[in-house]
């Protein structure tokens, strides 16, 4: 960490700057601070968000929308908030409306579900992004245009396939969650081609990979870097955000916190280890308003700003602990405990703690994970058995089966190429893993079964609506229909299945957890509650920066309690 320099917020050599990274790493903060620094240096800057969880309006304390708006107190800076959910709604209408009244209602419902997932939002966000690049005169002249968030490698690969521009949705029954959105693209191929060309031009575009100094976030950044580089987008830099630069000497939490970060940075994965990297320190104030962003810039170019003495802790209604979660699960009796959440929030940690806690109370417990290293630190506990689902192997089997079936049906090579690319999406892994662990559900009739990671609500609905499993079983049941119980029905039964949503006490992870809860409810599954992982609240730290961060977390916990039926808290601890 000592060899990584601080961020120079005005060292932006290109007209276009794209910020990308996993949710919760601070993309918006880094992009906003860069925008303020450039504007303060006398440049004309436009900051555009295409992030579904965008909080530009909160950051700048102003109304944002579909047209550039000047930021009060920052001469030369305009911001735009392009809501990809609104774009996705328009996209769905464009694709589906021609089929209404033509196809049976059940098939229209199937099309709607295929277009309900994150891939549609992803493609719709690129649609708005590309139009902005193709028509710069419509937004005015700027020295720099900054984008929070960049399009993913998966989206760009899809757009590069010739078959993506055919009438795929209407012609191919194999279309799943990432191909349907492409049906609305045919008329705008030159626009998208021009946008991709601009991204590949290193004299015009810089991609800033934003990460936290932890293994999960760095692994996501490395994957993004490789995917973009394969597509010819090679002008990349790395910003490591949230580094505890000067931990309080003698404070065990602060020292362990900084030590964990140093270990992660000492083992940067390729190609990050060969990339220009800078760091931004962990700060002890709320990053709201232009003045706060200027403090971010000053902290990144000089010594860290001393943290203000923490205010007395604000009162918060009691939040349950992980032990109380195990108590409630024990009282509920045998069943399935599904631990779900976005990547990097600590699902495996929570699943392990729940399984060990139940086993130590004398219950038979089976723990299954999709993380090959997920059980490495588990002590031997009487009554606890484990298994691991290899998501890569399950996905390969699933993809091979889908492609072989398509070949048998005579699908031509261009459509096979497009299907193969679509099957590389995260949606395929979710479906494959679900098919691999559905057999675990039956074990819960006689023991506790803890599953890390649970399928998302969109995956479950996709399986149901398109007939991937649920409908096949129901159609084949015949006169035995009344006695047929499918996996989806098991998961919808609160007496049999308890779904835990894991999150962090930060803005973006909470927004993503809320979306996940909405997806689950759409699938008829009511979450058992939320687990807030790795909180500094209750950690016992005396470090002024970490204490101030804990106060910010308390505000977020108040918001979480408004969304979650129950909340359990898991404080940050060494070794987790």
pLDDT for the residue 437? 72
**What would the mean pLDDT of 368-381 be, rounded to a whole number?**
65
Between 112 and 210, the more confident residue is 210
Q: Alpha-carbon distance 418 to 434, whole Å?
A: 23
Bond prior to 271 in cis (omega within 30° of 0): yes
CA 540 to chain centre: 29
Domain 5-299 superfamily per CATH: P-loop containing nucleotide triphosphate hydrolases (3.40.50.300)
**What would the mean pLDDT of 12-36 be, rounded to a whole number?**
87
**What would the mean pLDDT of 206-230 be, rounded to a whole number?**
88
Q: Read off the pLDDT of residues 276-306 as tens digits, 9 standing for 90 and up.
A: 899 988 887 777 788 888 888 887 554 444 4
CB atoms under 10 Å from CB of 284, counted, come to: 23
Q: Alpha-carbon distance 21 to 220, whole Å?
A: 7
Give this prediction's pTM: 0.75
Nearest in space to 123 (alpha carbons), one of 38, 192, 49, 214? 192
pLDDT for the residue 497? 92
Q: Alpha-carbon distance 241 to 235, whole Å?
A: 20
Residue 114, SS3? helix
Q: Read off the pLDDT of residues 473-516 as tens digits, 9 standing for 90 and up.
A: 444 444 444 455 677 788 889 999 999 999 998 887 888 889 88
DSSP secondary structure, 14-43, as one string? SSEEEEE-STTS-HHHHHHHHHHHHHHTT-
Secondary structure of 498-538 as H, E, C letters = EEEEEECCCHHHHHHHHHHHHHHHHCCCCCCEEEEEEECCC
pLDDT for the residue 165? 40
Q: Alpha-carbon distance 285 to 549, whole Å?
A: 7
Q: Alpha-carbon distance 377 to 38, whole Å?
A: 46
* Res. 389 pLDDT band, cuts 50 70 90: confident
DSSP secondary structure, 161-178, as one string? -GGGGS-HHHH-TT--TT
10 Å CB burial of residue 561 (0-12, 13-18, 19+) is middle
Q: Do the two domains 5-299 and 320-391+443-571 of this chain adopt the same fold?
A: yes
Mention every residue, 6+ apart, whose C-beta is less than 8 A from residue 230: 153
Asked if residue 376 has pLDDT above 80, the reply is no
pLDDT for the residue 457? 60
Strands 205-211, 236-243: pairing is parallel
Residue 490, SS3? helix
Extents of the domains making up the chain:
5-299, 320-391+443-571
Q: Is residue 224 within 8 Å of residue 209, measured between CB atoms?
A: yes
**What would the mean pLDDT of 47-66 be, rounded to a whole number?**
80
Q: Is residue 431 within 8 Å of residue 462, measured between CB atoms?
A: yes
Fold type of domain 320-391+443-571: Rossmann fold (3.40.50)
* Alpha-helical segments (H) within 172-306: 189-200, 215-230, 252-266, 290-301
Q: Alpha-carbon distance 264 to 188, whole Å?
A: 43
Look up residue 325 and give its two tokens.
């979660």
Q: Alpha-carbon distance 426 to 448, whole Å?
A: 28
**What would the mean pLDDT of 86-100 be, rounded to a whole number?**
76
Look up residue 149 and give its two tokens.
């968030």
Residue 449, SS3? strand
Q: Alpha-carbon distance 207 to 95, whole Å?
A: 31
Q: To the nearest whole percent, how much of the chain has pLDDT over 90? A: 23
- Across the chain, how many H-helices and E-strands are there? 21, 17
Look up residue 260 and give its two tokens.
């964990």
125-139, 383-397, 401-415: which range is least confident on average?
125-139
- Average model confidence (pLDDT) for the chain? 78
Q: Is residue 96 within 8 Å of residue 108, measured between CB atoms?
A: yes
* Res. 39 pLDDT band, cuts 50 70 90: very high
pLDDT for the residue 366? 93
């Amino acid at each position: 960490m000592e060899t990584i320099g601080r961020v120079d917020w005005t060292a932006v050599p290109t007209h276009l700057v794209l910020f990308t990274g996993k949710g919760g790493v601070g993309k918006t903060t880094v992009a906003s601070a860069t925008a303020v620094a450039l504007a303060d240096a006398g440049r004309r800057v436009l900051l555009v968000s295409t992030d579904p969880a965008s909080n530009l309006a909160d950051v700048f304390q102003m109304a944002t929308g579909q047209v550039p708006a000047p930021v009060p107190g920052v001469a030369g800076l305009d911001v735009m908030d392009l809501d990809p959910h609104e774009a996705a709604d328009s996209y769905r209408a464009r694709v589906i409306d021609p089929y209404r009244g033509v196809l049976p209602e059940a098939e229209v419902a199937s099309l709607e579900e295929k277009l309900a997932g994150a891939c549609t939002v992803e493609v719709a966000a690129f649609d708005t992004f590309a139009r902005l690049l193709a028509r710069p005169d419509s937004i005015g002249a700027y020295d720099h245009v900054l984008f929070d968030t960049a399009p993913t490698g998966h989206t760009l690969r899809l757009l590069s396939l010739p078959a993506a521009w055919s009438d795929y949705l209407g012609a191919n029954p194999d279309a799943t969650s990432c191909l349907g959105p492409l049906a609305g693209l045919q008329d705008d191929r030159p626009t998208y081609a021009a946008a991709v060309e601009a991204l590949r031009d290193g004299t015009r575009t810089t991609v800033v990979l934003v990460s936290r100094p932890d293994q999960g976030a760095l692994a996501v950044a490395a994957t993004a870097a490789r995917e973009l580089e394969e597509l010819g987008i090679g002008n990349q830099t790395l910003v490591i955000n949230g580094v505890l630069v000067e931990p309080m000497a003698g404070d065990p939490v602060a020292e362990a916190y900084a030590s964990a970060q140093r270990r992660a940075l000492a083992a940067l994965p390729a190609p990050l280890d060969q990339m220009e990297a800078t760091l931004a320190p962990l700060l002890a104030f709320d990053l709201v308003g232009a003045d706060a962003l200027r403090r971010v810039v000053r902290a990144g170019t000089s010594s860290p700003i001393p943290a203000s003495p923490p205010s007395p802790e604000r009162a918060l209604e009691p939040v349950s602990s992980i032990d109380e979660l195990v108590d409630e699960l024990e009282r509920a009796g045998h069943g399935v405990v599904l631990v779900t959440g976005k990547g990097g929030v600590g699902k495996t940690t929570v699943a392990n703690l729940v399984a060990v806690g139940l086993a130590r109370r004398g219950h038979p417990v089976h723990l299954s994970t999709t993380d090959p290293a997920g059980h490495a630190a588990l002590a031997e506990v009487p009554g606890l058995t484990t298994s691991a689902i290899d998501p890569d192997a399950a996905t390969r089997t699933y993809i091979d089966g889908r492609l072989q079936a398509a070949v048998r049906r005579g699908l031509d090579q261009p459509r096979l190429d497009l299907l193969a690319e679509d099957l590389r999406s995260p949606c395929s892994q979710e479906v494959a893993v679900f098919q691999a662990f559905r057999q675990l559900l039956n074990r819960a009739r006689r023991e506790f079964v803890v599953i890390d990671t649970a399928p998302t609500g969109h995956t479950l609905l996709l399986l149901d609506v398109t007939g991937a499993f649920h409908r096949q079983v129901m159609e084949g049941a015949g006169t035995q229909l009344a006695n047929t119980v499918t996996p989806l029905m098991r998961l919808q039964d609160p007496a049999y299945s308890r779904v835990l949503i894991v999150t962090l006490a930060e803005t973006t992870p909470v927004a993503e957890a809320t979306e996940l809860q909405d997806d689950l409810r759409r699938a008829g599954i009511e979450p058992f509650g939320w687990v807030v992982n790795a909180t500094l609240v209750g950690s016992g730290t005396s470090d002024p920066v970490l204490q101030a961060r804990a106060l910010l977390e308390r505000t977020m916990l108040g918001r979480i309690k408004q969304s979650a039926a129950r909340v359990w808290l898991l404080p940050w601890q060494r070794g987790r």
